[in-house]
A and B are shown apart, each in its own frame.
Chain A
Amino acid sequence: MSMFDVIIVGGGLAGLRAAIAAKESGASPLIISKIHPVRSHSGAAQGGINAPLANHPDGKDDSPAKHAFDTIKGSDYLADQDAVELMTSTAPSAIYELEHWGCPFDRTTDGRIAQRPFGGAGYPRTCFGADRTGHYILQTLYEQVVKQQIPVYEEWFVVSLIANEGTCCGVVAQNLRTGKLEAIEAHAVIFATGGAGRIYGRSSNALTSTGLGMSIPFWAGAHLKDMEFIQFHPTTIIGKNILMTEGCRGEGGYLINKDNERFMKRYAAEKMELAPRDIVSRSIQTEINEGRGFSIDPASGGSGGGYVHLDIRHLGRAKIMERLPGVRDICLEFLGIDPIDSPIPIQPAQHYTMGGIDTDSNGKTAVKGLYAAGECACVSVHGANRLGGNSLLDTIVFGKFSGIKAAQESLESKTKCRIDANALKMTLKQVEAHLQRMCDNRGNENPYQIKLELAKVMDDKVGIFRTGSDMKEALDKVRELKKRFKQIRSAGMITPFNYNLLWLLEMEGNLDVAEVIAMGALARQESRGSHSRRDFTKRDDQNWLKHTLASYTKDGPVLSYKPVTITKHQPQERKY
C-alpha cells in the first residue's frame, strides 16, 4: 500500500500544473492517469490561451479588468465575478511562467508572445503557438514534471475514492497493465479528469473525455454545478466533428451559407464571426434549420445534419501554413480537401462542459480532502458560456491554486486522515465486487447500443436549441437507459488492458452525468448563454440568476440552487 501527500487524478494541463504546485509547496504528489499524460485531451487544444499581456498593437489598452468584463459578459452573467477577477489578474504571470518553462509561443516582430483575436474579446489577447497551443503547453508542463521527478502512474484507471468518515483519503485504481485493483492512500486528492463531452455523439472531444471523472466525486458527496451549460463549438468538420479552431475566424476566416452570404451580419452585426460561441453556433444552426445550409449527402456517411462553409482561402497560403498548419492537415487527412483552395464544411458540435464539480477558487469541494480543477471542475469562471482561450487559462490558474492548497492542507493534516487497514480492505473488496459484477453480467442489453442511444438523445434533445418537452423526453430516456444498463451482456474479465471493461465503467459515469445535465436543463426555465430554450426565450435574472447544484442520492440526483457572486458588473442585456 503506497502513501502520498497529494494524489492528482489526471495528467492534462490542470493535473500537471497542480502536481508541480504541490511539489513546489513541499508535498509529495503522485499523478495517476488512465493514459500517458502527453496523450491527454489538453494536447488537442488549438487556438490559444487568454491573458491581457497587451502585446498586440491593437491590444495596448488591454487589462485584467477588461479581460474580466469580457469573460463575465460572455458568461451571460452567470460566472462568479470574484473568481473571474482572480483568474484574469493571475493570467499574465501564469503565461510568463509557461514561457519561462520553454513553451514555444509564436512571437511578435519585437520578440514578445504573439496574440490573436478570439470570440467575445475586446482585444487580441489569445496567446498561441500556431494552432497547436495545447500540445505545446502540455509538452512544456510534462517536461517540468520530469524535471521535478514527480512520480506518474500512467495507464492507471481510477474507479473510486477512499473515504473515512466523510474525508477523502485516497483512491482505488486499476493498473491497466496488470489488471489489478489497488488502493492508494493520500491526505488529499485532486480530480483533474477533464470534460464529459463523450456523453454526446457529435463532439469535438477526445474519446477519453467521459463523465466518469465527474461522477466519482459526485457519488462521494461533491456537488455538480451548472451542468446544463454545455458549449457547442460552431466549427467542427462534418462527420468526424474534429475541431477547426476559433483561430480560423480570429485570423480572418468567414462563415458562408449556401447562398454565398456572410450570414453572421444577421445575428451579430458588429462582431460578425467573432461573436461568442453560443451566438455563432445558434446562428449556424438557424441557417441550417431554415434551409440556407448545405445538406450532407447520406452516402458520405458521418453523423448527419446540415453544414455551412468556413472559408479561409482569402488568408492565403503563407498565412495558413504559418498560423493554421494543423487545421490544414486535419482537412487534408480527414476530409481530403485543402483549405487553401476549398471552403471547409463545418457544423456545430458539443465542445466543452461549463459546469462541473463545484469548487471554491482553491479547488475545494464539499468533501473534505477532495479538490477539483480544470474542465471537470466549476469554479465558476465560465458561467453560461465560456470564451475561447479561457479554458486553458482556467486549467493552469486553478490547477496551481488547488495544488498549493491541497499540499498545505495535506501537510497540516498528516496524522488525521489515516484509514485503518481493515476498512481499506473492505473498500477495495467492494470496488472489486462492483467490477466483477459488471464482468459477470449476462443480461441481454448490448452496452454499446446504450451508449449510442444516449449519445443520440443528448445530441437531438439537449442540444443547441432546447424545449421542455424534448428535455423531458431526454430525461425519461436517460432513466430508461440507466435501468437497461443494469441488464447488460458483458463477456468481460478483470484482465490487463481490458478497455472493454474500462468503457463499461465510463458509461456508468456518462449515464449519471447525463441525468444531471437533462434535469438541470429541464428545470432552468430561461435562456442564458449556451442554454437556449424555445419555450423560454428570455434570460430571467429575477428567478434564474443562480447556480444549479446537483447532489447524489440513491434515488437519483436532487437539485438545489446557490447565488452568483456579483462584484462590479450588474447584469445587462448581452449584445455583440
Chain B
Amino acid sequence: MTTFKVLRFDPAKDKAPRVDTFEVPAEKGLTVLESLYYIMENHDGSLAFRSSCRAAVCGSCAMHINGKYRLACNTQVETLKSDIITVQPLAHLPILKDLVVDLTNFFKHYDEIKPYIIPDSKLPEKEFVQSPKERRKIDGMVDCILCAACYGSCPVAAGEPGYLGPHALLKTARFVYDSRDKSTKERLQLVAHNKGLFRCHTIFNCQIACPKNLDPSGAIAKLKMKSVWSSLKEILPF
C-alpha cells in the first residue's frame, strides 16, 4: 500500500484547504494519475483533477507531487521511492477545486502575444520553402504542451499576475525564430517591457519545472538579446 496525501479544497464550502489521506495498493508501473483514479473510483468520488491523454502530451495533469512539478500521468509511484506521496495543485494559482486550478490568466497571457503566425501577405501556391536548418531553429519551442508547470513554479508570475510568463515568452520565441513569420519587430514590442521579458529574473524555475524538458528561460534570454540588439540598431548609425 502507498499512502497518498492529497490536497482538498472546495472554495464554495471550505474555509481553507485540508489534506486527505488515502491508501492505494502498490502495483508495478502504477502512475500517480492511475492512483488518483483509484481514489476517485474506490474512496472518494468527489476528488477533482484534470486528465485526458494519460500519455504526457496533452498538458492536463501537471501538479506538485512530492515536492516537484510533474505530470501525474508519466510519474510512476515506484520511481518516487517513498511510502507517502503528497499531491498538490500547481502553486500560486487559484484553486477551483482540489487539484484543479484556474488557468484564466495563463491563457490570457498566451492570447496577448499574438500566438499565431503572421507571414507575408502573399502566400505561396504550395508550401513555404523552409530548409531543415531553418526548421530546426524552432525545435523544442514548438513542443510546449501548455501544462502551466513553469507558470506555477515561477515566483515572478506569483507576485505579478500581469507578467506574461515563461510559456507566453516561449511561444513568442517560437514565432520569432520561425523563418515564415514576418513580424519580429511587432512581436518584440509586445514582450519587451517590464511585464514581459524584463520582468524575468532568470531564476530558472521554469526550466527545472518543465516536464517536457523544454527551455523557456533559454528562449527568454535569446529574446532579450534580440530585443536589445534591435533597439540598438535603431539608434546606432551602422
Contacts and interface: CB of A to CB of B under 8 A. Distances in A.
Contact of B28 (A107, A299, A492, A496): A299
A139 B142 contact: yes
* Size bracket, chain A contacts: 35 or more
Interface stretch (B39-47, B186-194, B198-206, B218-226): B39-47
A147 B118 CA distance: 10
Given A106-B135, A111-B130, A206 B116 contact: no
A559 interface: no
A143 B115 contact: yes
Nearest to B129: A111
B65 to A, nearest CB: 14
B143 A39 contact: no
Interface string A97-125: 00111101111111111000000000000
B58 interface: yes
Nearest to A55: B127
B178 A99 contact: no
Given A107-B130, A301-B28, A498 B46 contact: yes
A329 B214 CA distance: 13
Interface in A77-111: 92, 95-96, 99-102, 104-111
Interface in B65-90: 74, 76
A39 B58 contact: yes
A104 B58 contact: no
Given A300-B28, A500-B45, A144 B116 contact: yes
A207 B57 CA distance: 13
B48 interface: yes
Interface in B36-56: 40-42, 45-46, 48-56
A135 interface: yes
A499 B49 contact: yes
Contacts of B57: 43-44, 132, 135, 326
A35 B28 contact: no
B54 A102 contact: no
Contact of B132 (A43, A100, A107, A299): A107
A90 B22 CA distance: 54
Given A113-B127, A146-B116, A40 B58 contact: yes
Nearest to A177: B96
A323 interface: no
Interface in A3-45: 35-36, 38-41, 43-44
Contacts of B126: 53, 92, 96, 112
B232 interface: no
B181 A39 contact: no
B54 A206 contact: yes
26 contacts: A35-B58, A36-B60, A38-B58, A39-B52, A41-B53, A43-B53, A43-B58, A102-B117, A105-B127, A107-B130, A108-B132, A109-B131, A111-B129, A144-B116, A206-B52, A206-B55, A240-B54, A243-B55, A330-B56, A334-B55, A492-B45, A495-B12, A497-B98, A498-B48, A499-B40, A500-B45
Given A99-B128, A112-B127, 6 more contacts: A40-B58, A104-B178, A107-B135, A111-B129, A299-B28, A495-B46
